[in-house]
Amino acid sequence: MRAAIYCRVSTLDQRPETQLLDLQQLASQRGFDVMKVYTDHGISGTRARRPGLDEMLADARRGRFEVLLIWSCDRLARSTRHLLDVLDELTRLQIQFVSFREALDTSGALGRAVTVIIGAIAELERSLIIERVRAGMRRARLEGRHIGRKRLTLDEPAIVSDRGRGLSLRQIAKTHQVSTATVRRVLNAHQPDASMGATETRRSL
């Protein structure tokens, strides 16, 4: 039986080799002939559109494999609706679906039912994680703690002075380790000072 493998890792510093090794061993045990491996790197499972997933589904519609192997259901989808959509299409295309971690096989009605239940649990788990994060942020705000990036401390007089000495926006940005847009914003806010600095510079010359 011709098989395809789909792997997904959510961060760029992760590698799909662990998933791939397990799935290749599973394919060998069941006598599947792996035709192609589809991989998505650094892409969240919440995204329904992914390059590897889209390519895999396109090949499924062309009849290039008969069974899809995945490491776990949450590698394929994080929402029950998306999982069901993919399973419905695979079923319509008469493609078997096998999940390694959950030991699921949609060739039978029981396997499909359990897959739907696991998908619902995965979605619930993600919702709980999001709610815990939001609760933590609310608590931090009540305690007066800063949330997000540390506010940038700028030496605005030095930026104005550098401009007055004739430095370019790019040179100033590099010196103060900020963007040219930030430099421009500071200069606009201190426009009279900047003009005065430039006038004094011309007089000294």
Look at the domain 2-125 and name its fold.
Rossmann fold (3.40.50)
Q: Tell me whether residue 21 is exposed, middle or buried, using C-beta atoms within 10 angstroms of its C-beta: 0 to 12, 13 to 18, 19 or more.
A: exposed
Q: Give the residue carrying structure tokens 């949330």.
A: 147
pTM above 0.85, yes or no: no
CA distance 24 to 16: 12
| Residue boundaries of the structural domains of the chain | 2-125, 156-204
User: Which residues carry out catalysis?
Assistant: 10
Q: For residue range 68-125, what is the model confidence (pLDDT) as tens digits?
A: 999 988 888 767 778 878 888 888 899 999 999 888 888 777 777 777 776 677 777 7
Bridging pattern class, strands 96-99 and 104-105:
antiparallel
Cα–Cα nearest to 74, from 39, 123, 109: 123
**131-144, pLDDT tens digit by residue?**
888 888 888 888 77
